[in-house]
Amino acid sequence: MSFGIEDSLGKAVMIESTKRMTQARNLLARFNTWTWEDFEDYVLVGVWQEDRAAEFYRLEELAKAKGFSYPAQAFRNMDKELRKATSTSFHLVDHAGGISGLGSMVFMPEEGYRSWNIYNPSILTANYQTEGNFGRIHGNLGSGKTNVLCVVLERWATEENHVALGNIRLEKADERYRFVRTAKEFFETVVELPEKTRWLFGLDDSSLYYGKMDQATRRVKDLDKFMLAVRKLKGSIVFVVHLDTAVPNVLMQFSRNIIHCPEQKVVSIELRGPNLKFRDTVSGFPKSTLPFDTWDIATFPINLDIQALLQAISGADDSRANLREFLKTGEAPRVEYESRICKRAGCGKSLVGLHPAAKYCSQYCRQTDYVGRVRRKGSLMRETQSEPEKKSLNEFLS
C-alpha cells in the first residue's frame, strides 16, 4: 500500500515539475517584454541559490542607477543566465523541497491562457489615441506577426475619424486601409488627410531594412528621423520585427506597446501607457479580415531627403502647405539648403542630412577634390617659377 502512495506522489511531482518548467520557459521566451517588477518576481520564485539571487538583485540596482528602463535594455544574454539558475533551482527542489518546494515556484499563477474573446479589442489601439506613440510586434518566423499587425490596423480603422496605413500589400483593395510603398507615398497620403484625422502606420518586416547593425548608414539615420517626426504629423507607428535585439535603440526605448507572438494564435500583450496599462498572454487571437498577401516581402525605401522635408515644415505657419510644396518640388526653403553643397567643383549635391561640418557628399568627391587641388597647386608652381639667371663663370666665382 505504501508503495502505491509513493508511486502516486512521484507521478504528482513529475507532473507538477513539468508544468512549472513549462511556465518558466514561456516567461523566459518573452524576456524582452519584462519590466523590472517581472524580473524581481522571477528571481524570487525561480532562483533558489541565495548568492545567485543576491547577484541578480545587485545587477538590477546597478542597471536602474544607470538609467536603464527595462531588463532587456540593460543586460545582454541575461535570459540565458536565468535559464541556468532556474535549472539549478529545479535540481535543488528535487532533492530538498519535493512537492511543497515546487508549490512555491509560482511562475504563472493562472493555468493555461485566457481566451482573447473575453477582452474588449479596443485595448489594442487604446495607447495610440495620443499621437506620437510606438508599438512593436516580434516573434518567431511564421508565428503570425503580420496577422497581428493587420488586426491592430483594422481595429483602428473602425474608430471614428481614424485612418490605417501600412506597407503591407493587400491581395485586393480594402477601404479600411491605405497601402503606401515608399516614404514619399506615405507623406503624400498623410498630407491630404483631413485636418483632424488620426492615422496609424503599420511598418511590416522592418528588420529587412532597418537594423541596429546598419545604424551608421544614411538609410537608417533617415528612418530614425522619420520616426522622430511622427508626433508632429499627428500619428503613431506599429512595426514588426523578426529579431528584436537587432532593432535600433531609438525604437526599443520609444515602444511602450509590445506584442510577442510565440506561436500562431497565441500572443503576449504588454501595454505600458500612456492611456492603458495591461499585461496578459491570450490564446485564440483572431485572424485579420484584411486580405493581406502573406508571401509579399514588405519594403519601405526612404526615397526623399528627410532632413530637407523636416526643414520645409519647421517653423512654418502652414506646415501642411509647405509639405505639399516640398513633395512637388523636392526642395526645402532656400536659406540653408542651397548654401550647403559639396565642395568638389562641378558636383553641386546638397549636404543637408550629413554632419554639420561635412564638406563633401561622398568619399569619392573628397578624394577627387584632393587630387585636383594637388595637381592645380603643382601646375601653378611650375607656371610662376622663374628661369634661373645665367651667369658667366667669372661672375659666379666672384
CATH number (domain holding residue 127): 3.40.50.300
Identity (one letter) of the amino acid at 70? Y
146 and 25 assigned to the same domain:
no
Phi, psi of 305 (to 5 degrees): -80, 100
Q: What pLDDT sits at residue 72?
A: 82
Please identify which residue in the block is written with the cell numbers 541596429. Answer: 212
Q: What pLDDT sits at residue 165?
A: 94
CA distance 146 to 247: 17
Q: Is the pLDDT of residue 378 over 90?
A: no
How does the average pLDDT of the chain come out, rounded? 78
Q: Is the pLDDT of residue 110 over 80?
A: no
Q: What pLDDT sits at residue 314?
A: 73
153 and 258 assigned to the same domain:
yes
150 and 279 assigned to the same domain:
yes
Where a domain ends, among 82, 103, 124? 103
166 and 269 assigned to the same domain:
yes
Where a domain ends, among 103, 138, 156? 103
**Which one has a higher pLDDT value, 15 or 122?**
122
Q: Is the pLDDT of residue 264 over 70?
A: yes
Q: What pLDDT sits at residue 355?
A: 61
Per DSSP, 370 falls in state H
97 and 155 assigned to the same domain:
no
Q: 329 lies in a domain?
A: no
For the chain, what percent of residues have pLDDT higher than 70? 74
Under 8 Å between Cβ of 91 and 51: no
CA distance 34 to 74: 12
Question: Which range among 39-48, 253-262, 314-323, 325-334 shows the weakest confidence by mean pLDDT?
Answer: 325-334
Q: What pLDDT sits at residue 310?
A: 78
Under 8 Å between Cβ of 121 and 155: yes
The count of other CB atoms within 10 Å of the CB of residue 382 is: 8
Residue span of the structural domain in which 58 resides: 2-103
CA distance 109 to 86: 17
Q: What is the mean pLDDT of residues 93-110?
A: 60
Q: 153 lies in a domain?
A: yes
Q: 21 lies in a domain?
A: yes
Q: What pLDDT sits at residue 115?
A: 85
59 and 168 assigned to the same domain:
no
120 and 98 assigned to the same domain:
no
For the chain, what percent of residues have pLDDT higher than 90? 18
97 and 131 assigned to the same domain:
no
Q: Is the pLDDT of residue 279 over 60?
A: yes
**Which one has a higher pLDDT value, 284 or 73?**
284
183 and 205 assigned to the same domain:
yes
CA distance 62 to 20: 30
256 and 172 assigned to the same domain:
yes
Query: What domain count does the chain have?
Result: 3
Q: What pLDDT sits at residue 336?
A: 42
Cell numbers at 314, concatenated: 519647421
**Which one has a higher pLDDT value, 240 or 102?**
240
Per DSSP, 168 falls in state P
Q: What pLDDT sits at residue 391?
A: 56
Q: 260 lies in a domain?
A: yes
Where a domain ends, among 265, 283, 301? 283
Under 8 Å between Cβ of 201 and 186: yes
pTM, two decimal places: 0.59
Q: What pLDDT sits at residue 71?
A: 87
Q: 360 lies in a domain?
A: yes
Q: 317 lies in a domain?
A: no
Under 8 Å between Cβ of 122 and 156: no
Label residue 338 by pLDDT band (50, 70, 90): very low
32 and 158 assigned to the same domain:
no
Q: What pLDDT sits at residue 253?
A: 72
3-state SS class at 301: coil
Q: What pLDDT sits at residue 13?
A: 59
Q: What pLDDT sits at residue 386?
A: 53
Q: 90 lies in a domain?
A: yes
188 and 247 assigned to the same domain:
yes
Label residue 334 by pLDDT band (50, 70, 90): very low
Max mean pLDDT range (159-168, 252-261, 326-335, 371-380): 159-168
Q: 237 lies in a domain?
A: yes
Cell numbers at 374, concatenated: 594637388
